[in-house]
Amino acid sequence: MKRFLLSIITFVSLSIVAGASGTEGIVPAPSKIEQAKGHFRVGGTAFKCDPALDPRVKKAVQQFALQISIASGKTCSVSFPLGLAAACNNENFKGVVLLVDNTLPAESYFLKVETGRVIVKASDCNGFLYAMQTIRQMLPDLIYTRKQDDNLKWVIPCCTIEDSPRFSYRGCHLDCSRHFWEVSDVKKYLDVMAMFKMNSFHWHLTDDQGWRIEIKAYPLLAQKGGFRSGTMIGHDENSDDNERYGGYYTQEQIKEVVDYAWSLGITVIPEIDLPGHMLAALSAYPWLGCTGGPYEVWHKWGVAEQVLCPGKESTFTFLETVLSEVADLFPGEYIHIGGDECPKNEWKNCPDCQALIANLGIKGDAHFSSEQYLQSYVTARMQKFLSGKGKKIIGWDEILEGNLEAGATVMSWRGTAGGQEAATKGFDAIMCPSSHCYLNFCQGEDADAEPIAFNSYLPIETVYSFDPLEGIPSEMQKHIIGVQCNMWSEYIDNSKLLEYMLLPRLLAIAEVQWCIPENRNWERFRQAVVGHEFSVLRNAGYTYSRVIEGIYGGQLFEQ
């Protein structure tokens, strides 16, 4: 029986690999697929687009048509004729038609592939972009390269697909502070997020080890806070390489990334982590701290004791000026203000902080210290300020400590309890517990055979098993708006390693974000990854882990 099953699995995976990929290998698995007989030839086809399409979709169709033309050696055309909906009713109508259908839910799409034509319907930009990602996933994997192969069958199978995401927020995070990523690296990161239908990029731009965004009003933040004079080596806290390291994004580069993400249907959420994780800013402007320094951009990983001083009004002027520039650069509705891991020792000993606590009448209680309530005061002021700029805040789950004002969104990272508490209290929440969503953790059981990583283990099976709504009463579930994976970069110092840590675990998160539980199945997913997505990723030029096949990757990254 075992051997029989094995040969079925082998047959399925071979049939996925040969020629057209079919529907079996699509990740995230579509909500509903009905297979039919036959296939549609894409080489040389005519794309006929509703003139009402979003300009981003129009551009994406042009790019897709060009990609197919190159791969198949047969030129595809793109046109925007009027009266498409009526024309489709004619049986002789041929080609790929993209039609706006406002009855479909956000980010959803309908795809009908017949032998003579393909009909794509969606109500918004992302719906169409995702339909094209799905078509790409059904084509031979060579579509992900820029190569031509006219011997391949450039076909997709006849089928009907109705597809909708489970969660509206499907995020992926990147820490650019501990290690700095070039704009080209960030774009490649966004590309792979888009391939797997993610829509939110959480850009961690500031931390103790480096400030990475140019702020015109405070130029030293980037020029001084963007560079450190050394970095600890490996896991050894007592070591230092004594090499200058750093970098930052100019505002022009920030706009370039925001625009690029937008073209892929991804919103960028910048994080300015406050009031802790601010040592790089303190190094640039020591008057921001309780003691006045001296401070130095940190060489070590962990949580620095030195934090912003809320006891001085000048700190709020600074924060509001920084956040004004940030709000102007990022058109999305959210700004992430961090809030995690803010040690309170300095505040306890700071006359300014203690005076503010007294003036505000803040009192500690059985649940929280007066300093925790002081952090709530900082959070509330930033929230109010940003609300005046039309922005909502997201904060790590520590923002629940003390008081939290209505309208904040909580990012649950210390397990799922923060998300559950938030939902129960009527706040929106995003689940990214380190137990399932921290992709900086080692992915192989034998850490010695893997590249150096944060000292925890998170195999892809565990990522895949995550149920974000477990333990949330059904009437509260609407507050869990989504799921995110986080990529902290302490131990990730080159782009190949970044991709290795991301892939293929990103695909597991993508299914957690997209698929209802009934459509998730570990064996199907594993087959899709090994039998199809690995060659997709390889052709698209990504480095990925093969631990899922028992192949460890440590030697790939030996110095």
Quote the radius of gyration of the chain (alpha carbons, Å): 25
Q: What does 353 interact with, of Zn ion, ligand ACM, none (CB < 5 to 8 A by kind)?
A: Zn ion
Strand spans (E) along 114-254: 117-122, 155-163, 169-175, 200-204, 206-207, 210-211, 227-228, 245-246
Which residue, 20 or 353, is less far from Zn ion as judged by CB?
353
User: What minimum distance in Å lies between the beta carbon of 303 and ligand ACM?
Assistant: 8
Tell me the C-alpha to C-alpha distance, in Å, between residue 242 and each of 107, 228, 390. Answer: 48, 9, 43
Burial, 14: exposed, middle or buried (Cβ in 10 Å; 0-12, 13-18, 19+)? exposed
Interface positions, 519-558, toward ligand ACM (CB under 6 A): none
CA 393 to chain centre: 17
User: Residue 275: which H helix or E strand, with range?
Assistant: none
**306/287 Cα distance (integer angstroms):** 12
User: What minimum distance in Å lies between the beta carbon of 90 and ligand ACM?
Assistant: 56
340, 352, 405, 421: which one contacts ligand ACM (CB under 6 A)? Answer: 340
Which residue, 291 or 456, is less far from Zn ion as judged by CB?
291
| Residues near ligand ACM (CB under 6 A), total | 4
Contact (Cβ atoms closer than 8 angstroms) between residue 99 and residue 47: no
User: Do you know the residue count of the chain?
Assistant: 559
- Which single residue is written with the structure tokens 């997505």? 533
- Distance separating the N- and C-terminal Cα atoms of the chain: 46
Which residue, 330 or 454, is less far from ligand ACM as judged by CB?
454
User: What minimum distance in Å lies between the beta carbon of 340 and ligand ACM?
Assistant: 4
413, 466, 525, 542: which one contacts ligand ACM (CB under 6 A)? Answer: 413
Read off the amino acid at residue 68.
I
Q: Which of 277, 299, 436, 479 is catalytic?
A: 277
**282/221 Cα distance (integer angstroms):** 9
Which residue, 66 or 355, is less far from Zn ion as judged by CB?
355
Q: What does 29 interact with, of Zn ion, ligand ACM, none (CB < 5 to 8 A by kind)?
A: none
Q: What does 284 interact with, of ligand ACM, Zn ion, none (CB < 5 to 8 A by kind)?
A: none
User: What minimum distance in Å lies between the beta carbon of 83 and ligand ACM?
Assistant: 53
Which residue, 13 or 412, is less far from ligand ACM as judged by CB?
412
296 part of the interface to ligand ACM, by CB under 6 A: no
Residue 141's φ and ψ, nearest 5 degrees, are -60, -20
Query: And the tokens for 40?
Result: 């549609």
Does 523 participate in catalysis according to the annotation?
A: no
Which residue, 347 or 396, is less far from ligand ACM as judged by CB?
396
3-state secondary structure 183-242: HHHHHHHHHHHHHCCCCEEEEECEECCEECECCCCCCHHHHCCCEECCCCECCECCCCCC
Q: What does 340 interact with, of Zn ion, ligand ACM, none (CB < 5 to 8 A by kind)?
A: ligand ACM
Which residue, 158 or 304, is less far from ligand ACM as judged by CB?
304
Binding site for Zn ion (CB under 5 A): 290, 309, 311, 350, 352-353
Q: Which of 101, 185, 341, 421 is catalytic?
A: 341
Tell me the C-alpha to C-alpha distance, in Å, between residue 425 and each of 152, 419, 549, 559. Answer: 56, 10, 43, 50
Contacts of 233 (CB under 8 A, 6+ apart): 239, 240, 241
User: What minimum distance in Å lies between the beta carbon of 218 and Zn ion?
Assistant: 19
Helix axes 251-263, 55-72, angle to 10 degrees: 70
**538/529 Cα distance (integer angstroms):** 12
Binding flags for ligand ACM, 129-158, as an x/- string (CB under 6 A): ------------------------------
User: What minimum distance in Å lies between the beta carbon of 400 and Zn ion?
Assistant: 23
**424/422 Cα distance (integer angstroms):** 5
343 part of the interface to ligand ACM, by CB under 6 A: no
Q: Which of 141, 163, 207, 346 is catalytic?
A: 207
**378/104 Cα distance (integer angstroms):** 41
Does 532 participate in catalysis according to the annotation?
A: no
User: What minimum distance in Å lies between the beta carbon of 347 and ligand ACM?
Assistant: 19
Which residue, 296 or 352, is less far from Zn ion as judged by CB?
352
User: What minimum distance in Å lies between the beta carbon of 177 and Zn ion?
Assistant: 23
Q: What does 396 interact with, of ligand ACM, Zn ion, none (CB < 5 to 8 A by kind)?
A: ligand ACM
341 part of the interface to ligand ACM, by CB under 6 A: yes
- Which single residue is written with the structure tokens 């339909």? 131
Tell me the C-alpha to C-alpha distance, in Å, between residue 218 and each of 222, 224, 254, 255, 317. Answer: 8, 10, 16, 19, 12
396 part of the interface to ligand ACM, by CB under 6 A: yes
CA 90 to chain centre: 42
Does 277 participate in catalysis according to the annotation?
A: yes
514 part of the interface to ligand ACM, by CB under 6 A: no
Residue number closest to ligand ACM, CB atom: 340
Active site residues: 207, 277, 341
Q: Using CB under 6 A, list all residues that contact ligand ACM.
A: 340-341, 396, 413
